Amino acid sequence: MPASIDITGQKYNMLTALYKTGRQTENKQYFWLCKCDCGNTTEVRIGNIRTGRTKSCGCLNLRTGSESPAYKHGRSRTREYDLELHMMKNYGLDLKDYQKLLEAQNHKCAICGSPPPNNRKTRLSIDHCHKTGKVRGLLCDRCNRSIGLLKDDVSILKKAIEYLNKE
């Protein structure tokens, strides 16, 4: 890129080029002092300005809600939305499917029958077959961890039952 390009007064996204500073990169690209639409000034490489890699002084990343450039539906970056994305990606369940499973199990663990705790984790875990990926039900943390530690193996579980029945 020639060093003689003059972009003074040109606007790129939210930045307006004011003047070329004396600073250069190792590959001879000049830095330009630019004024952002928010009122701040920042020094940016000419290559980043012209390609659109730098769009603002950094204020664009700080915007939230409907002001955010990534705003779609008002639910992004919420705990519920993240949970719904996780359930859909990993188990193919949306929030309505989860609610149906929860109601079918009377809001209790499918193994021990206990409700979800009211401490840090307030929901039941989604249990699934690791071979087929099919959702089996909703479990409390203890039951979910227990069958996971037993490797979802019925023969190991039977041996554990035999062990517990010893006098």
In this prediction, residue 135 carries a pLDDT of 92
Domain extent for 105: 79-165
2 vs 151, which has greater pLDDT? Answer: 151
- Considering the domain boundaries, does residue 90 fall inside one? yes
- Considering the domain boundaries, does residue 70 fall inside one? no
- Considering the domain boundaries, does residue 68 fall inside one? no
- Please state, for a pLDDT cut of 90, what percent of the chain lies above it: 41
From CA 21, how far away is CA 18, in angstroms rounded?
9
- Considering the domain boundaries, does residue 102 fall inside one? yes
- pLDDT one-digit tens code per residue, 9-47: 999 988 999 999 988 888 888 899 999 998 999 999 988
Element (H, E) at 15: strand 15-24
Specify whether 55 is located in the same domain as 96. Answer: no
Q: How far is CA 107 from CA 13, 25, 124, in A?
A: 51, 61, 8
Specify whether 159 is located in the same domain as 102. Answer: yes
Number of domains in the chain: 2
Domain containing residue 115: CATH number: 3.40.1800.10
Phi, psi at residue 126, to the nearest 5°? -90, 115
From CA 106, how far away is CA 31, in angstroms rounded?
64
